[in-house]
């Protein structure tokens, strides 16, 4: 964490939660890094962004519970219950929460796209790679997902110019 930049806020995009409401490996990795960034004094707040009512479960409730269970002060946690995509997460962070500078935390496959989308939304963003104690099939699936999502993100950014 020593090499991580400082920013007022850490943005944590949502991901699938288990049937019992706990964060699965991808999401746990993002939350653990956000906790470390706050504890290291690299950020003062955490913005959780995800789907509060989708098929993957209530990502916001799961993330919030995890952070509080790990000693994070609820006063520094903000939530966007309608961050349904990375693009929406970044745009809403700027428009609804007034975030101009942030660290976004995600796994290595997703991080370049997440940083680019935040910057396109007007946020001076840096990325920090999240952990993933994931099964091989999870990593393969998420690599394929990023290969498919990246061109769409590039097209969206070019069309907005």
Q: What is the pLDDT of residues 86-138, one digit of tens each?
A: 999 999 999 999 999 999 999 988 899 999 999 999 999 999 999 877 666 55
Percent of the chain at pLDDT exceeding 90: 68
Q: Is the pLDDT of residue 139 over 70?
A: no
- With both helix axes pointing from N to C terminus, report the angle between 86-95 and 111-120 in degrees, rounded to the nearest 10: 40
> 99, 64 in Cβ contact below 8 A?
no
Q: What is the mean pLDDT of residues 14-37?
A: 94
Q: Is the pLDDT of residue 55 over 90?
A: no
Q: What is the pLDDT of residue 54?
A: 74
d(CA 20, CA 44): 30
């Amino acid at each position: 964490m020593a090499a991580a930049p400082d920013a007022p806020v850490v943005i944590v995009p949502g991901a699938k939660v288990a049937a019992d409401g706990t964060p699965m490996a991808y999401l746990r990795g993002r939350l653990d890094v956000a906790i470390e960034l706050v504890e290291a004094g690299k950020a003062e707040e955490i913005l959780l962004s995800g789907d509060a009512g989708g098929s993957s479960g209530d990502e916001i409730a799961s993330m919030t519970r995890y952070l509080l269970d790990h000693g994070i002060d609820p006063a520094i946690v903000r939530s966007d219950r309608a961050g349904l995509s990375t693009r929406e997460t970044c745009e809403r962070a700027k428009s609804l929460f007034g975030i101009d500078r942030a660290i976004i935390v995600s796994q290595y496959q997703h991080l370049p796209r997440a940083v680019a989308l935040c910057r396109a939304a007007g946020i001076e963003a840096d990325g920090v790679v999240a952990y993933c104690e994931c099964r091989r099939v999870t990593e393969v699936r998420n690599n394929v997902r990023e290969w498919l999502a990246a061109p769409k993100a590039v097209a969206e950014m070019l069309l907005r110019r």
